[in-house]
């Protein structure tokens, strides 16, 4: 699916599970903390712009398919002209600079009230040249600790994500898995 496939919609939910949870950088109508099923978050994607360089890419999260997994994050509802503006911005941030593809997923708000809604999510796949794949936790940790890019140090990315999980998703099992399972 391409972002332009959803242009013209009156509203759209966009699910964030990495830096979007603390820095969406686009206007939105409302946001909700919740989760998607069938994916696990891993530090398996390389970043040679925001959190690293071409010589020393950082590691940022992507989603890996796993039928038994749940990934917590934030969904942002954009409406009216916000849809096109958000997609134009995210196309550069996530697709051009990051190499992510888009999919539609069911987003479950964490407050157990409303039914799930369809949300657009950006995922880095293994056929992406920036995709790094699995490595030992020690190697991933060392790479994160030594990488920095235009948006800041890679360690800041990891710590902000861990803080989001602790403060906004206390109901999520294994909050520290963000760090431990890198």
pLDDT in tens, 44-63: 999 999 999 999 999 999 99
Q: What is the CATH number of the domain that holds 13?
A: 3.10.490.10
Any domain includes 12: yes
**Per-residue H/E/C for 15-65:** EECCHHHCCCCCCCCEEEEEEEEEEEEEEEEEECCCCCCCCCCEEEEEEEE
Any domain includes 78: yes
Any domain includes 120: yes
Any domain includes 39: yes
Any domain includes 177: no
- What mean pLDDT comes out for the span 25-45? 95
pTM of full prediction above 0.85: yes
CA 35, CA 22: separation in Å to the nearest integer? Answer: 16
- 156 labelled catalytic: no
Work out how many domains the chain is built from and give that number.
1
CA 48, CA 141: separation in Å to the nearest integer? Answer: 17
| Segment 70-118, tens digit of pLDDT | 999 999 999 999 999 999 999 887 777 667 889 999 999 986 667 899 9
Any domain includes 55: yes
Q: Which domain holds residue 103?
A: 3-172
Catalytically annotated residue among 94, 112, 156, 163 = 94
Any domain includes 181: no
When pLDDT is cut at 50, 70 and 90, the band that residue 127 belongs to is confident
Any domain includes 178: no
């Amino acid at each position: 699916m391409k972002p332009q496939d959803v242009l013209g919609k009156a509203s759209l939910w966009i699910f964030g599970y990495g830096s979007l949870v603390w820095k969406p950088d686009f206007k939105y109508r409302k946001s909700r903390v919740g989760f998607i099923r069938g994916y696990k978050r891993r530090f398996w994607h390389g970043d040679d712009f925001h959190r690293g360089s071409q010589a020393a890419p950082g590691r940022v999260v992507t989603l890996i398919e796993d039928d038994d997994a749940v990934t917590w994050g934030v969904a942002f509802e954009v409406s009216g002209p916000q849809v096109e503006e958000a997609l134009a911005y995210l196309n550069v941030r996530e697709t051009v600079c990051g190499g992510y593809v888009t999919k539609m997923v069911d987003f479950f708000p964490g407050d157990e009230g409303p039914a799930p809604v369809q949300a657009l999510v950006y995922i880095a796949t293994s056929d992406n040249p920036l995709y790094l794949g699995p490595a030992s936790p020690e190697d991933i940790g060392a790479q994160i600790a030594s990488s920095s890019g235009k948006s800041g140090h890679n360690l800041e990315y990891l710590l902000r994500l861990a803080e989001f999980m602790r403060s906004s998703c206390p109901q999520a099992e294994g909050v520290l898995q963000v760090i431990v399972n890198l």
